[in-house]
Amino acid sequence: QQQVKQSPQSLIVQKGGISIINCAYENTAFDYFPWYQQFPGKGPALLIAIRPDVSEKKEGRFTISFNKSAKQFSLHIMDSQPGDSATYFCAASFQSGTYKYIFGTGTRLKVLA
Residues in contact with other proteins by the rule CB under 8 A: 32, 34, 36, 38, 41-46, 49, 87, 89, 91, 93, 97-101, 103, 105-106, 108
Distance CA 60, CA 29 (A): 29
**Which residue's CB is nearer to other proteins, number 41 or number 83?**
41
Q: Give the residue with the Cβ less far from other proteins, 32 or 81.
A: 32
Distance in Å, CB of 67 to other proteins, minimum: 21
Please, are residues 104 and 2 in contact by the beta-carbon 8 Å criterion?
no
Q: How far is the CB of 25 from other proteins (least distance, A)?
A: 16
Integer Cα distance of 78 and 19 in angstroms: 7
